[in-house]
């Protein structure tokens, strides 16, 4: 069997709540100030692109100032309009090849692969920059039709260089096991925005450091 690749420590990947208006920019600033965050995913639904761009602008500036990658969920068009650092594609959001052509070779392109080895292999072969597996636990953010097992992370780490993201209902209490299994990034939303965001980020960072 192949040896697992050497890895950098697992990093935190924040996903926005659906409501990013009002006081949210201040909340994001507090979260980013609370500890190292690798990436922030801008995820809104039912908003036209112009309105989404207006909502994204202050958040994108905060991320740029904190050296945090700003990733747009689902929409290659919005990512291109904003000059975002990348896009995260669901299985119905278009191809990696199209996103690469429209966003350029330096864009970070991630793909949701649920609990599927096959989808992850396809994404890697298509040129994705990372694959996302989940949900690992019941999620308060979205209904999860697919449940992933930590063994999937172990398998991926053993055989592939491409970074992987663990997502779905992850808390500071459960993130350590996923990091140990092989998650390069822990993606979280409700566990941060459902309470004190700064305290939550600190708790995640502390838990990952212990692992």
Domain limits at 134? 11-210
Instruction: Evaluate whether residue 2 is within a structural domain.
Output: no
Is the pLDDT score of 141 beyond 80? no
CA neighbor of 41 nearest in space, from 208, 166, 187: 187
- 177 vs 141, more confident: 177
The enclosing domain of 96 has a CATH number of: 3.20.20.70
Q: Is residue 166 part of a domain?
A: yes
SS3 content of the chain, % helix, strand, coil (to 5): 40, 15, 40
Indicate whether 83 belongs to any domain: yes
Burial of 12 (0-12, 13-18, 19+ CB in 10 A): buried
167-196 residue pLDDT tens = 999 999 999 999 999 999 999 999 999 999
Q: Structurally, how many domains does the chain consist of? A: 1
**What is the pairing mode between strands 130-134 and 164-167?**
parallel
Q: Is 112 part of any domain?
A: yes
Per the domain annotation, does 1 fall within a domain?
Answer: no
Write the pLDDT tens digit of every residue in 58-113.
999 999 999 999 999 999 999 999 999 999 999 999 999 999 999 999 999 999 99
Q: Per the domain annotation, does 6 fall within a domain? A: no
Residue 5 domain flag: no
């Amino acid at each position: 069997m192949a040896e697992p690749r050497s890895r950098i420590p697992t990093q935190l990947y924040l996903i926005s709540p659906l409501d990013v208006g009002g006081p949210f920019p201040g909340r994001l600033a507090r979260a980013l100030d609370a500890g190292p965050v690798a990436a922030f995913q801008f995820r809104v639904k039912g908003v036209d692109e112009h309105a989404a761009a207006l909502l994204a602008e202050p958040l994108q500036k905060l991320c740029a100032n904190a050296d945090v990658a700003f990733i747009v969920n689902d929409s290659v068009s919005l990512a291109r309009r904003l000059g975002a650092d990348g896009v995260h594609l669901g299985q119905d959001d278009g191809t990696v090849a199209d996103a690469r052509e429209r966003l350029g070779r330096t864009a970070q392109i991630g793909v949701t692969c649920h609990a599927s080895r096959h989808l992850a292999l396809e994404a890697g072969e298509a040129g994705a920059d990372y694959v996302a597996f989940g949900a690992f636990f019941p999620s308060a953010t979205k209904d999860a039709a697919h449940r992933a097992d930590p063994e999937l992370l172990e398998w991926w780490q053993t055989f592939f260089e491409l970074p992987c993201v663990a997502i779905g209902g992850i808390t500071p209490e459960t993130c350590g096991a996923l990091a140990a299994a092989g998650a390069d990034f822990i993606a979280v939303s409700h566990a941060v925005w459902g309470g004190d965001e700064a305290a939550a980020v600190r708790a995640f960072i502390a838990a990952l450091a212990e692992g």
